[in-house]
């Protein structure tokens, strides 16, 4: 069994063609701008949307931990008592409560994603495993990838690639396309903004290129972190050495995680950040073009 937050069907941005994307829960990095903050921790979490609460009281009756109580200003949550069991969310019909993180078997995931097999075949798509971090649940990832390949489904992973290469090698034969995040080339800045050094990431990209597997490198453009020409040019120069890089993609800042931070009660350091404008994107694209020809803006 693995822990999954969502399965997104008909995705057009997680690899070629029409895809289903399976989001694993749990990540070894702590990127300060993460737009899927519900995938950071391995365990399930309860999301609260108090503005949707009608005060019906249904959650009070079912909470086995006493974590929901009626207060002076409406229903209150005692977070320290909550085990994220999801009983309250199951009876809350107003959408004021939801749980992220469900244990799923390979069979359950296959039942869902194989419904769209015809779309994958017609569009050149398949299934992408994302997160969170795929490699943080390596045994489950291996089991799922093997099962997908046995069904003839094309596979891709979206990964921060910050794990020992021998672990990556165990999955390699079952992955058709690697989509790797490279957030910063500067090691000190990488540590500061993600919590981890990027040395392993850079070494792994070099090792992957030697295997002949195709890969895509993506950089999320984060205002004040890496949205400058010098950093993007350094990344592009590093990438210019590789034979099996399909293309380099810069992804504009995605502010859509803001409501998730609020619902989880955690601080969002990039709450006021906004996507980059056209001129800034053109400038960064130009910096990458000095070293690379295959560039995309996403």
Chain residues binding ligand SF4 by CB under 6 A are: 46, 53-59, 62-63, 65, 67-68, 75, 82-88, 91-92, 94, 96-97
What does the CA dihedral 232, 236, 237, 241 come to, rounded to 10 degrees? 160
Closer residue to ligand SF4, CB minimum distance, 68 or 291: 68
Q: Which two tokens stand for residue 179?
A: 């989509």
Can you spell out the DSSP letters for 207-226?
A: HHHHHT--EEEEEE--TTTT
Main-chain dihedrals φ then ψ at residue 215, nearest 5 degrees: -150, 155
State the nearest-atom distance from the C-beta of 78 to ligand SF4, in Å: 8
State the nearest-atom distance from the C-beta of 259 to ligand SF4, in Å: 17
Closer residue to ligand SF4, CB minimum distance, 39 or 45: 45
Closer residue to ligand SF4, CB minimum distance, 89 or 295: 89
**Residue 87: count of CB within 10 angstroms of its CB:** 19
Closer residue to ligand SF4, CB minimum distance, 79 or 197: 79
Closer residue to ligand SF4, CB minimum distance, 32 or 53: 53
State the nearest-atom distance from the C-beta of 257 to ligand SF4, in Å: 21
Closer residue to ligand SF4, CB minimum distance, 55 or 298: 55
Label residues 255-272 b or e (16+ Cβ within 10 Å = b): bebbebbbbbeeebebee
Tell me how far apart the alpha carbons of residues 43 and 38 are, in angstroms, rounded to a whole number. 10
State the nearest-atom distance from the C-beta of 59 to ligand SF4, in Å: 3
State the nearest-atom distance from the C-beta of 86 to ligand SF4, in Å: 5
Tell me how far apart the alpha carbons of residues 157 and 186 are, in angstroms, rounded to a whole number. 24
Which residues are within 8 A (CB) of 192 and not within 5 positions of it... i.e. 6 or more apart?
A: none
State the nearest-atom distance from the C-beta of 57 to ligand SF4, in Å: 5
């Amino acid at each position: 069994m693995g822990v999954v937050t969502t399965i997104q069907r008909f995705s057009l941005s997680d690899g070629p063609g029409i895809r289903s994307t399976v989001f694993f829960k749990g990540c070894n990095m702590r990127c300060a701008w993460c737009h899927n903050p519900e995938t950071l921790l391995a365990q399930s979490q309860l999301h609260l949307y108090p503005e949707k609460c009608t005060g019906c009281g249904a959650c009070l009756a079912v909470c086995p931990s006493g974590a929901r109580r009626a207060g002076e200003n409406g229903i209150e949550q005692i977070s320290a008592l909550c085990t994220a069991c999801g009983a309250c969310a199951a009876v809350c019909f107003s959408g004021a409560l939801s749980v992220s993180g469900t244990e799923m078997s390979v069979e359950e995931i296959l039942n869902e994603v194989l419904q769209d097999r015809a779309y994958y075949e017609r569009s050149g798509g398949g299934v992408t495993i994302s997160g969170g971090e795929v490699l943080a649940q390596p045994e489950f990832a291996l089991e799922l990838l093997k099962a997908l390949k046995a069904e003839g489904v094309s596979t891709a992973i979206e990964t921060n690639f910050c794990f020992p290469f021998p672990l990556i090698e165990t999955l390699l034969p079952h992955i058709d396309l690697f989509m790797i995040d490279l957030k910063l080339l500067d090691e000190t800045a990488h540590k500061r903004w993600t919590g981890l050094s990027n040395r392993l990431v850079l070494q792994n990209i070099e090792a992957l290129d030697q295997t002949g597997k195709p890969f895509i490198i993506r950089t999320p453009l984060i205002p004040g972190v890496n949205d400058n020409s010098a950093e993007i040019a350094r990344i592009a120069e590093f990438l210019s050495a590789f034979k099996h890089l399909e293309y380099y993609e810069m992804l504009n800042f995605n502010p859509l995680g803001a409501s998730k931070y609020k619902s989880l009660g955690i601080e969002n350091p990039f709450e006021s950040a906004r996507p980059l404008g056209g001129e800034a994107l053109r400038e960064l694209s130009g910096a990458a073009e000095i070293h690379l020809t295959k560039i995309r803006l996403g």
